[in-house]
Amino acid sequence: MKVKSRVQIRKSDKIKLLKELKSSFGDVVDTFSDRKFETAIADDIPIVMIEGDVLLFKTGDVYFPTVKGVLQLGLKKNVVVVDAGAVRFVVNGADVMCPGIVSADDDIGAGDPVIITEETHGKPLAVGTALIPGPQMKASSGKAIKSVHYVGDKLWNLDI
């Protein structure tokens, strides 16, 4: 992936971005609000770099944290936990099915960005879009999350 047009974010745009992130991922967003934000394009994917690290990206009108962003920023809201049987599918980019879900935050609504973690160590594996509300995700069948970015994809391997 090639990074093009790296530009520092204007203060007004940064405030708007932080407000959007705060609504999805909670008050933890305040811990990195004073850092330097830059935008760039990487293979037609709008990305946001915080202090030089690619920690956010945009799909459609929604900003998602990268998996590395989840780790570095300490995001703990909108989390869905999957069992060990689902891990190999999730890290290969598969959408998350209801039977593989162990738990999901009750605040998750359909269309919300979510963080997918594994059960044993709590490490993030992917980020995606919720297709159904959190309380309904522990059903016996059906698709719960559309995967957007996962460990090992081109965004994960992007080096600046």
CATH number at residue 111: 2.30.130.10
26 within a domain of the structure (yes/no): yes
Mean pLDDT for 43-67 is 89
Mean pLDDT for 35-64 is 89
Could you tell me the pLDDT band of residue 88, with boundaries at 50, 70 and 90?
A: very high
159 within a domain of the structure (yes/no): no
Q: How far apart are CA 126 and CA 37, in angstroms?
A: 23
| pLDDT of res. 1 | 67
User: Is 158's pLDDT higher than 90?
Assistant: no
Could you tell me the pLDDT band of residue 147, with boundaries at 50, 70 and 90?
A: very high
Q: How far apart are CA 2 and CA 96, in angstroms?
A: 29
Q: What is the tally of helices (H) and strands (E) in the chain?
A: 3, 11
Contact 25, 70 (CB under 8 A): no
Closest CA to 149 of 59, 84, 73, 27: 59
Enclosing H/E stretch for 84:
helix 84-90
**Structure confidence by residue, pLDDT tens digits, 107-125:** 999 999 999 999 999 999 9
Q: State the pTM of this model.
A: 0.90
User: Which of 55, 73, 91 lies at the terminal end of a domain, its last residue?
Assistant: 73
Total number of domains in the chain: 2
Could you tell me the pLDDT band of residue 157, with boundaries at 50, 70 and 90?
A: confident
Q: Are residues 135 and 119 in the same domain?
A: yes
63 Cβ contact partners less than 8 Å away, ≥ 6 residues apart: 17, 20, 21, 48, 56, 57, 113
Q: Are residues 23 and 85 in the same domain?
A: no
What's the domain range around 12? 3-73
